[in-house]
Amino acid sequence: MSDIKLPIYEDEEVPKPRRWFGVRHFQFFLMSFTLVIFFGMRTALSVGIIAMIDKHPPDPSIPTYPEWKDTDTVLSSFFWGYLVTQVIAGQLSEYFGPKWFLVSTMLLGSLFNILIPVMASCWGSGGVMLCRVVQGLAQGFLYPCILNIVSKWTPAFERSRVSAFVYGGASVGIVTSMPLTGAIAGSTWGWPVACYLYGGLGLLWTGVFTIFAANSPDTHRWISEEEKKYIESTTCLKTCTKKIPTPWKSMFTSLPMWAIFIASCGSSWGSFTLMTEIPSYMDNIMHFNINENSQLSALPYIALLLAGIIGAPIADKLITSNVLSIGTTRKIFNSLASFIPATALIVLGFVDNAQKELAIGLLVVAVGTNAWTQCGYLVNPIDLSPNHAGTITGLVNCFSTIFSILGPLSVGFFGDDKKDPNVWWNVFRTAAGIYAGCGLFYVLFSSGKTQKWNDEAEDEKRFPSEGDSKTDIYVIDS
């Protein structure tokens, strides 16, 4: 590869490493596959619960519980635990390093996934809820820790691409989990095998992650000096290693911070409502069997993955080519990820079961275009404050998790009969309104500038001016 010069300190340039695949790329793969496993665990129950309450399982030996009436509560219970640990997770990952928190998260989440069939047999739906709450508590560390590692390992010009690749692991997890769980649950193996499969995979991955992951290039045993220097040249690695007190007041009075909060809430309501309820919609309104259901339910998440892969290089190119500023790029992509799904969901409310292809197409659009949040609010915490990106992500996830809980529960709020199209019309209309309102707030108040409270002890000349320079955010003075 040709040597690509990147700005570093005042009068020095560092060439891009000649090797096309480095240690940093393997770290991104580790982060991405962590999300593959955990979102596989999250999503498997959305499909598996249909088999869990089936009156006629494929094999009489498979345990089922048709008397359960609280399936929406079971599906939302994950987020009860997930809500609790977000903020403290961000703080702990910044002060002590994220690696061992992620290892503990994977270990605990995997063990309790294996326990779901046993707990369902012993304690019914309450036992499954307990497992999901514990998994949620553990996974509260997931995004703050991953963003913390990504912020240390990612050269600044690659932020959107790395973000799309890492967060794309969630889409891969959903895409693979839905048809795989549907095939297992619809066979004589039965739904418990899916729980054992993902739990066992998580335990295996814990060992791999323990050996090969590192908090930063500076602590990795096998990284070359060439690659290490290249990464340090455009990241905050030198300043991020200092223990900087969290500027709580400045953060909570920052409108760009609130823009991220609000955008995250809207995206969470819409995306998690769809993720947990698409299988139910396919079953009750479109009348697909479980194998067809699981395959078609995965289709929107294939679109989500592809949209992220396409959008991220475009976003980075717009910034590095000085076509658009960082802030403007974030606004455009986040708007596409908000207003397009809102429109698709409004139209979906008018579709009946005689228009199955149209319904599937609209779900593909609604879910797929939400991938561009990866180039919008999801990567924006690193723009605003590299030093506090983990804490910001924890705060954002804490806020948005409330909406992740309320979104799926809204289905039951609008009616008990899931075979009633009016229930789904109200669900889709509400999600569309929240998508659009939160997207508008982000357009009005977001920013791509590093905020002064990122490191208030430093000279203010480090920070971009009010003009929101297109590229100077990527240059860190020594």
Assess if residue 386 is contained within a domain: yes
Provide the H-helix boundaries in 191-325: 192-212, 225-234, 237-240, 248-252, 255-284, 290-320
Structural domain including 112 reads 17-221+237-454+465-472
- Which portions of the chain are predicted below pLDDT 50? 1-11, 237-241, 457-478
Q: Tell me, what CATH number does 97's domain have?
A: 1.20.1250.20
Average pLDDT for the chain:
82
Q: What is the pTM of this model?
A: 0.69
pLDDT given for residue 263 in this prediction = 94
pLDDT tens per residue across span 330-358? 999 999 999 999 999 999 888 887 888 88
CB 81 within 8 Å of CB 134 = yes
DSSP state of 6: E
State how far the Cα of 109 lies from the Cα of 257, in Å rounded to an integer.
30
State how far the Cα of 331 lies from the Cα of 376, in Å rounded to an integer.
6
Assess if residue 11 is contained within a domain: no
Reported for 57-64, long-range contacts at CB under 8 A and 24+ positions apart, including other chains, are: 57/190, 58/186, 58/187, 58/188, 58/190, 59/188, 59/190, 61/190, 62/188, 62/190, 62/191, 62/192, 63/117, 63/120, 63/121, 63/190, 63/192
Assess if residue 196 is contained within a domain: yes
pLDDT given for residue 432 in this prediction = 93
Question: C-alpha distances in angstroms, 215 versus 228, 376, 382, 424, 474?
Answer: 13, 25, 16, 44, 21
Assess if residue 43 is contained within a domain: yes
pLDDT given for residue 291 in this prediction = 64
State how far the Cα of 344 lies from the Cα of 335, in Å rounded to an integer.
14
Assess if residue 227 is contained within a domain: no
First to last CA, the chain: 28
Assess if residue 1 is contained within a domain: no
CB count, 10 Å around CB of 58?
Answer: 16
pLDDT given for residue 15 in this prediction = 62
pLDDT given for residue 243 in this prediction = 62
pLDDT given for residue 475 in this prediction = 32
pLDDT given for residue 13 in this prediction = 57
Assess if residue 204 is contained within a domain: yes
Assess if residue 7 is contained within a domain: no
Domain count, the chain: 1
pLDDT given for residue 289 in this prediction = 66
CB 36 within 8 Å of CB 176 = yes
